[in-house]
A and B are shown apart, each in its own frame.
Chain A
Amino acid sequence: MDRQKTKEEVIDALHGVASEMHDKMLRGDPPTMTLPVRSKSNIGFDKKLGVYKYGKKKTVRDATSLGSARQLLRALHITEFIEGMISDGKTSTLREMYYISEGWGHGKFSNQNESNGVSEDLEIVTKCLREDFGLRPEEDGARIIGNVTFEERNRRGDWMRINCRDDVGDSGYGVPYNVESEKLRMIDQDIDFVMAIETGGMFDRLVENGFDEEARCALVHLKGQPARSTRRIMRRMSDEWNKPILVFADCDPWSFRIFASIAYGAIKTAHISEYLATKEATYLGITADDILAYDLPSDDLTKQDLNALEAELSDPRFSTGWWQEQIGLMKEIGKKAEQQSLAKYGLDFVTDTYLPEKLSAMGLSY
């Protein structure tokens, strides 16, 4: 699957936005910008792709109110800015663009949420990714440790070969913001699966215990809600190397949502779910069952936790029997537990007992 667009395609797509405005004005009508409705009501599960996508509802932003007119002008300024970056071969962070917009007169933004919003609008309308625009977020991507080899094109334009076990320190390989083929090539691997880990503490524990070599896997640190590039590189590892993706997270409703954004797509990025979501991803733990089976130290569910669980019960992403059962059980025992609660039985318990048992139950014994 190659979704990469050429510079010309990106600029053409952006010009399409400007054309819609200009054409309307030529006809004597107020300029407009047409985009999908971006609310829950217009997000549906695409059975074919197995991910969440925007539906067919469209909204027309027209310049009959000051607020909307400003948004149109801002979209044009961003278009101009992106064109400039593309022709200069530069990229900028979303925050940098926000500061640059200070100089855009009446098209400037009053906060970064506004500028992020209009950038997302442009992504959706043009069906480009913000990587195509040369825009990147501040948050860095994940860290990877394991016997996998990538080639990354560095800032001098040279391809650098990096093995994520032999060529990196204990902090692992830092995933760049852009992991498309123009920037990152998947070269080689000698692993059986990929394990994505929610917290840094557990990631470091597994690294220290040498779990990546012992279990022949690549460890990916998610850093909470994973960045786009983290989800994208896992998708590529799944697609191109055909390796299972296992998610190891805390046992609480928010961790379930982290899993859902990896496996089915997040609402905010539903326009690109098919590039980011890995529908083959599996939830490894910690499950509500585990709390009982391993008698893990746990905390009581808060009111917000219970509300979140309730919402998940009616969320189609959690509609399978297994999830319904787990969520029901969690509500029943009224408890949640962290990954690191496994340390109750010693530092090596997670690698010596817990993970082997969980993996063998999935048919991935080593």
Chain B
Amino acid sequence: MGGLGGDGERVDPAEKLASKQKQISIGEFFEKNKHFLGFDTLQRSIITAVKEAVDNSLDACEEARILPEIKVEIQRLKGDNLKLISQDNGPGIPREDIANVFGKFLLGSRFHAIRQTRGQQGIGITGVVMYSQLTAGAKTKVISKISKDSSAVFVELGIDTRRNKATKSGENREIWFDEKAGEAIPHGLRIETKMKAKYQRGRQSVFQYLRMTSIVNPHASISLVVRDRDGSIIEEGDWPRTSERLPRVVNEIKPHPHGIQTGTLQRMLKESAERKLTSFLRHNFSGVSMRAAREILTEAGLDEGRSPKRISADDVHGMIAAFGKVKLVNPPIDGCLSPIEDLLIKKGLSKAIDSRFASTITRSPKVNQGNPFQIEVGLVFGGDLSSDGPIEVLRFANRVPLMYQQGGCLLTKALEAVDWKRYGLDHPGGKGIPKGPAAVLIHLASTNVQFTSEAKEAVADNEVVFEEIRLAMLEVGRGLKGHLKKSSQRKKAKEKFELINIILPEISKKSSELLSRGEPDLAPIITKIMNAVFCEEELGWDENRGLATCSITIYNYTARARAYTILAKWPEGEGTAISENPLGGNKQARGLWAWRLDTLNPGSATTIHFGVSGLRKGEWSDAEIFYRGNGEVIGATKIDEKLLDELRKAEALVVAEAELEQPKEPISQLKERAELSEVSQTQSLNEGQTNLFEDFTTNDGFEVEE
């Protein structure tokens, strides 16, 4: 950041932020409406204070393209008082803007922007300053360092509630020194405040809030220390970043007429710089063409040339009604939302929750009442998760955790509407939250999240959003079902192996000893017991070479020789490659590699080993194995040649059109299709053999008589 600071021509990101802020004065609002703002109970107040500070830090870092490092410290004081320190490495706030940012309500760079942001109303941090003043009579100490200044601003803030103005005291400039690192801090913000509040643990706690925040912000490093009066640690948490990738910059879009409310329209009209209604409509809204603007005005009975500033309240209602009648194009949805994206959800979940299986989905963006929105769902299962009691539901709106009113929230209702029994979770009566060792994350990203109340604790009912969530749930549900089926198959195979490798030899030994007879030959017995081909895969991690490894072993426990082609799904993508592969093989489709095996004689086994570079430890947790050949292979799925064929054609088309988008989850469909129809399997097998990879398939699946 040093270079940026010395560059006079570039605008410091902090200044850019502050310049966008508009002032809206509602001074004493807070005192009367503490309950709206999350300061209604002592337990809740500290959570709200942390939330406001951390949300601001994350937003500021995101806009300034800085990977956030946020430290939260809470210290118990005498009585029911707490000291809160929150520090970030964000852009800081320019000296002249500090009073505004901390001293006024409804002030924030985001209030008029229509796009996905965390805060959205900017009521935030001022409330903390005010609560501190009201309950502890304390000033809030702020240290702010922007990179272009050589020193940081140290200042204490209070609030004149009647005049809606911050009062500053003890302001001075100093070098802000990081004592641990022994160097000056280049940029950042630190807030220290005291307030009447109680620290509590559990589901509704600062800890849980930060844990959830870290899940949906895998690019942020967040830490928490809570100390008792004597300095002993009550609770601490450390959630380091798992991704270096900042959320993408979201475009601001103009509001769409379908989502607009009367008050907002009135305000927009009043503040309009346009002289005519037609230009007002065209310039301030998305999806409104000249033709549409005229139609709206005709429908509302308004003259095109009227000045927007002089529109009566009745006419405003008329305009809103007209918005609903005129056909309008949807707002642009690309780029105005910032989904977490499924791989990062997986990472975020895995850093906070130790589980065996994760299934995630990012749905494509949709529009509802003029507002683009997008649903993401992640499901983790097994591992350390408790298997009795309801699953954990992690709700998020625009990356902000929702911790209260779970039952009344649309996100919860959509989760409950799924018949989870079908997907392997216990769901008594098909009602309420399902039970089992699972956690479900639901993220609603939207330019306009509708909450049930000002307190912004629960998402309001909406059929379109509900259906999107439900569909996303079904997708992760299918993933879970597949995982459970595979686990039970694996368990059965494991039992069989134990039977023939351990128990049977012992039966043979013991009975021979008892009877003083010779031991029988077990090979033919094993074949009779197993009478199947088994496939076992094992994923590993080669620490030295940074290689994700996969071993696939095929055991032929049948009385005949067998030949197969084995196909494995692997995480092909940018930066990943199969870098170790002694058996060669070839690529069948994106993310699908195949090896043809030599003839497997009865009682013999063979192993395919390969390594994938470009992954981190734990990133590849679930391999999928397919086979081409006769009979059943326990532990693998017969490949659907027809679908593979379609897949390859689609890929060829994509390449031909030079498109970069990849078909969505193509290989998981293979499995589903394969399970759906036995008939199509056999048909497609034959087709696959004649059409494709003839060198591969002509010898596939033959049986050799003994």
| Binding partners A and B | yes
B520 touches A22 (CB 8 A): yes
In chain B, residues 459-507, which have Cβ atoms closer than 8 Å to a Cβ of chain A? Answer: 495-496, 498-499, 502-504, 506-507
B511 touches A66 (CB 8 A): no
A76 touches B502 (CB 8 A): no
The one of A25, A80, A83 in contact with B525, judged by C-beta atoms closer than 8 angstroms, is A25
How many angstroms from the CA of A65 to the CA of B496 in the assembled complex? Answer: 7
How many angstroms from the CA of A106 to the CA of B511 in the assembled complex? Answer: 15
Q: Does B529 contact A (CB under 8 A)?
A: yes
The one of A15, A25, A65, A80 in contact with B499, judged by C-beta atoms closer than 8 angstroms, is A65
Please give the distance in Å from B528's CB to the nearest CB on chain A: 6
B503 touches A106 (CB 8 A): yes
How many angstroms from the CA of A155 to the CA of B76 in the assembled complex? Answer: 73
13 additional contacts, CB 8 Å, given A29-B525, A106-B503, A106-B506? A18-B514, A30-B504, A30-B525, A30-B528, A31-B504, A31-B507, A31-B525, A63-B529, A66-B496, A66-B503, A72-B507, A73-B507, A76-B511
How many angstroms from the CA of A76 to the CA of B476 in the assembled complex? Answer: 48
List 15 A–B pairs whose Cβ atoms lie within 8 Å, in order of A's numbering: A15-B514, A15-B515, A18-B510, A18-B511, A21-B511, A22-B512, A26-B520, A28-B528, A31-B504, A66-B496, A69-B499, A70-B503, A73-B503, A76-B511, A107-B510
Q: Residues of A contacting B517 with CB < 8 Å?
A: 22
Please give the distance in Å from A273's CB to the nearest CB on chain B: 30
Q: Does B6 contact A (CB under 8 A)?
A: no
Please give the distance in Å from B557's CB to the nearest CB on chain A: 12
B503 touches A69 (CB 8 A): yes
Please give the distance in Å from A68's CB to the nearest CB on chain B: 9
A18 touches B499 (CB 8 A): no
Q: Does B508 contact A (CB under 8 A)?
A: yes
B504 touches A80 (CB 8 A): no
Q: Does A346 contact B (CB under 8 A)?
A: no
Q: Does A225 contact B (CB under 8 A)?
A: no
A69 touches B504 (CB 8 A): yes
How many angstroms from the CA of A126 to the CA of B524 in the assembled complex? Answer: 29
Q: Does B583 contact A (CB under 8 A)?
A: no
Q: Residues of B contacting A65 with CB < 8 Å?
A: 495, 499
B504 touches A63 (CB 8 A): yes
Q: Does A115 contact B (CB under 8 A)?
A: no
Q: Does A79 contact B (CB under 8 A)?
A: yes
How many angstroms from the CA of A25 to the CA of B529 in the assembled complex? Answer: 12
Q: Does B352 contact A (CB under 8 A)?
A: no
Contact with B along A61-96 (1 / 0, CB 8 A): 001111001101100110110010000000000000
A contact face: mostly helix, strand, loop, or mixed: helix
* Most chain A beta carbons < 10 A, residue from B503, B507, B529: B507
Q: Residues of A contacting B499 with CB < 8 Å?
A: 63, 65-66, 69
Assuming A69-B499, A106-B502, is B514 touching A79 (CB within 8 A)?
yes
B506 touches A73 (CB 8 A): yes
B510 touches A25 (CB 8 A): no
How many angstroms from the CA of A83 to the CA of B502 in the assembled complex? Answer: 24
A18 touches B515 (CB 8 A): yes
Q: Which residue of A lies closest to B523 (CB)?
A: A28
Please give the distance in Å from A25's CB to the nearest CB on chain B: 4
B contact face: mostly helix, strand, loop, or mixed: helix
Q: Does A105 contact B (CB under 8 A)?
A: yes
Q: Does A351 contact B (CB under 8 A)?
A: no
Q: Residues of A contacting B515 with CB < 8 Å?
A: 15, 18-19, 22
Q: Does B522 contact A (CB under 8 A)?
A: yes
| Chain A residues with a Cβ closer than 8 Å to the other chain, count | 27
B503 touches A76 (CB 8 A): no
How many angstroms from the CA of A18 to the CA of B516 in the assembled complex? Answer: 11
How many angstroms from the CA of A29 to the CA of B520 in the assembled complex? Answer: 10
Assuming A22-B515, A31-B507, A106-B506, is B498 touching A66 (CB within 8 A)?
yes
A76 touches B510 (CB 8 A): yes
* Most chain A beta carbons < 10 A, residue from B517, B524, B525: B525
Please give the distance in Å from B491's CB to the nearest CB on chain A: 10
In chain A, residues 5-45, which have Cβ atoms closer than 8 Å to a Cβ of chain B? Answer: 15, 18-19, 21-22, 25-26, 28-31
Q: Residues of B contacting A29 with CB < 8 Å?
A: 525, 528
How many angstroms from the CA of A22 to the CA of B511 in the assembled complex? Answer: 6
How many angstroms from the CA of A15 to the CA of B512 in the assembled complex? Answer: 11
* Most chain B beta carbons < 10 A, residue from A65, A66, A83: A66
How many angstroms from the CA of A80 to the CA of B514 in the assembled complex? Answer: 7
How many angstroms from the CA of A267 to the CA of B269 in the assembled complex? Answer: 90
How many angstroms from the CA of A129 to the CA of B490 in the assembled complex? Answer: 42
Please give the distance in Å from B478's CB to the nearest CB on chain A: 30
Report, nearest first, the 5 A-B pairs whose CB atoms are least far apart: A28-B524, A25-B520, A66-B495, A76-B510, A69-B503
Q: Residues of B contacting A25 with CB < 8 Å?
A: 507-508, 511, 520, 522, 525
A63 touches B507 (CB 8 A): yes
Please give the distance in Å from A34's CB to the nearest CB on chain B: 15
How many angstroms from the CA of A102 to the CA of B589 in the assembled complex? Answer: 53
Assuming A70-B503, A106-B503, is B511 touching A64 (CB within 8 A)?
no
In chain A, residues 102-135, which have Cβ atoms closer than 8 Å to a Cβ of chain B? Answer: 105-107
Q: Residues of A contacting B502 with CB < 8 Å?
A: 106
Please give the distance in Å from A77's CB to the nearest CB on chain B: 7
Please give the distance in Å from B690's CB to the nearest CB on chain A: 39
B507 touches A64 (CB 8 A): no
Please give the distance in Å from B496's CB to the nearest CB on chain A: 7
Please give the distance in Å from B138's CB to the nearest CB on chain A: 63
Q: Which residue of A lies closest to B502 (CB)?
A: A106
Q: Residues of A contacting B504 with CB < 8 Å?
A: 30-31, 63, 69
Please give the distance in Å from A104's CB to the nearest CB on chain B: 10
Please give the distance in Å from A259's CB to the nearest CB on chain B: 42
The one of A22, A64, A107 in contact with B506, judged by C-beta atoms closer than 8 angstroms, is A107
How many angstroms from the CA of A15 to the CA of B510 in the assembled complex? Answer: 11
Please give the distance in Å from B512's CB to the nearest CB on chain A: 7
